[in-house]
A and B are shown apart, each in its own frame.
Chain A
Amino acid sequence: MARIIVVTSGKGGVGKTTTSAAIAMGLAKRGHKTAVIDFDVGLRNLDLIMGCERRVVYDLVNVINHEATLNQALIRDKRCGDLYILPASQTRDKDALTLEGVGQVLEELAKDFSYIICDSPAGIERGAHLAMYFADDAFIVTNPEVSSVRDSDRMLGILASKSRRAEFSEEPIKEFLLLSRYSHERVKLGEMLSVDDVQEILALNLLGVIPESKSVLNASNSGTPVILDEQSDAGQAYSDIVARYLGEEVPHRFIEKEKKGLFGLLFRGK
């Protein structure tokens, strides 16, 4: 049975699409057949981040309207055969999405895939609601600043009350916190909320901290999910997150300044 993960935040620009792309690639690289769906109809971006924008023929709205089959619309990633992308429509708006349509698409995907990642648009309106409605797990992407934290909190309330699981009184959606664009230097200077501050407000299971990093922008510009940049701190952070999500015990990194290990001390002079 497929696991449906929504990547959501409420607020825009916090890193939902970057996270969706990285997590999807991370799961697929580990051999799990994964689909990632862009729910941001009208403001489609996921195809750019995934580097498949020139291969889009059909999209999610076409599938919902039965203008194309799911197989026609799914784009297979060139770097990883287990990863498929279902792009959003750029010429339509979010009203083109219907609950039944989205339900059918997810049901069909669930037959073939182990993980389905729903990249939610910002806001709490139709697109965001439909992206999270069928979810089993939710990745809440939050930046360490007050407005992002409050929006995430609001989103958590909606997950707890307006999802399918809530409406059918099933086991609630599992929620995970991803703190992105984190800079321990700025936390130290008091310019940013710390992990503890955010945890205190949201009271959520922390899946990982993604440091503020140039590699994210570079990755986006080149259409490569940042998780493939194994040298970068953000790429490593996403690898850790995938591992933790799959149940591995990985200690948290990037929360505090890296302590130099033995080698760091030995080579300090250089």
Chain B
Amino acid sequence: MSIDTPLSENQIAALQFKSSSFNVPALVLASHELETISSQLEKKLTQAPDLFKNSAVLIDLHKLTRKNAPLELAELIKILRSLELIPIAVSGATETQNKLAIELGIAVQTNQTLNNLVVQTTSEPEINATVVDEKVVEAPPVVLIPPAKENKVITQPVRSGQRIYATGDLTVLAPVSSSAELMAEGNIHVYAPLRGRVLAGVQGDTQARIFCSDLQAELVSIAGIYKINEELDKTVKRTLVQIYLHDQALLIEEL
């Protein structure tokens, strides 16, 4: 359950953790020769100086780790900083590199499926290097692909005592019994009688919404703000509604 415990009067919430995501260009390294990297990177940055100025970067070492060719991470970070890049994390590094990264105040990204593309620096000789470079400049060098969130679909009745959790959206096409629990980090849709507890935006997403065709829920909650069945207005019970947050208030609206 992610219902916030109510704060006492003289306590004011000074902070809150919320899930968020933003896209960071990944620097995919194919060579451990620091000099080559340095010179090629410098050349690249001069092609689009504003795009990368003070930009956060993820250092992607998967290729090098696979080739078993570790590089001097500390030196690389120095080079990146001197070129006005802000390295924030490494991924695909060896264990010693990971330790070193943390010592240097840089996070370790372990999620292999992270969708990030791509500023490639290769040391392999390219015959028509200039052509390749032009292409890179034409196309935006940072391709933003939002991570695909799970969209769970349930077609069987959700019985009393069962709990279903979705990291993205949750769609239920069968009845949800009383004392069953639906939880999703995103939206929740229920196209059958909803009698259980339903909690959307459980990681704090205040934009999450609940849609249901027959509202009889014991409890509805978005991002921890909840209403119990007794507090639901008679006019919205047993009807098609959407539920969303507006200024910290839970609104239930007939559709």
Contact = CB atoms under 8 A, between A and B. Distances in A.
Interface string A126-163: 00000000000000000000000010011011101100
Interface string B148-178: 0000000011111110000000000011011
Interface residues of A, number: 12
B177 A201 contact: yes
B162 A161 contact: yes
Given A201-B177, A203-B174, A203-B175, A154 B159 contact: yes
Interface string B177-191: 111100000000000
Given A150-B178, A153-B177, A200 B160 contact: no
B193 interface: yes
Nearest to A172: B156
A146 to B, nearest CB: 9
Given A150-B179, A201-B177, A157 B193 contact: no
Q: Number of contact residues on B: which range applies?
A: 10 to 19
A27 to B, nearest CB: 28
Contact of A157 (B160, B174, B175, B195): B160
A116 to B, nearest CB: 25
B180 A157 contact: yes
A40 B208 CA distance: 47
Contacts of B160: 150, 153-154, 157
Contacts of B157: 156, 203
A160 B156 contact: yes
A89 to B, nearest CB: 29
A11 to B, nearest CB: 12
Interface string A148-184: 0010011011101100000000001000000000000
Nearest to B180: A157
Contacts of A158: 159, 161
A53 B202 CA distance: 56
Interface in A23-81: none
A160 B180 CA distance: 14
Nearest to B162: A157
Given A150-B178, A201-B177, A203-B174, A156 B193 contact: no
A161 B161 CA distance: 11
A235 B161 CA distance: 34
Nearest to B159: A157
A150 B159 CA distance: 9
Contacts of B177: 150, 153, 157, 201
Given A150-B178, A172-B156, 11 more contacts: A150-B177, A153-B161, A153-B178, A154-B159, A154-B160, A156-B157, A157-B160, A157-B180, A201-B195, A203-B174, A203-B175
14 contacts: A150-B177, A150-B178, A153-B161, A154-B160, A154-B179, A156-B157, A157-B159, A157-B161, A157-B180, A158-B159, A158-B161, A160-B159, A201-B175, A203-B175
Interface of B: 156-162, 174-175, 177-180, 193, 195
The 3 closest A-B pairs by CB, nearest first: A157-B159, A153-B160, A157-B162
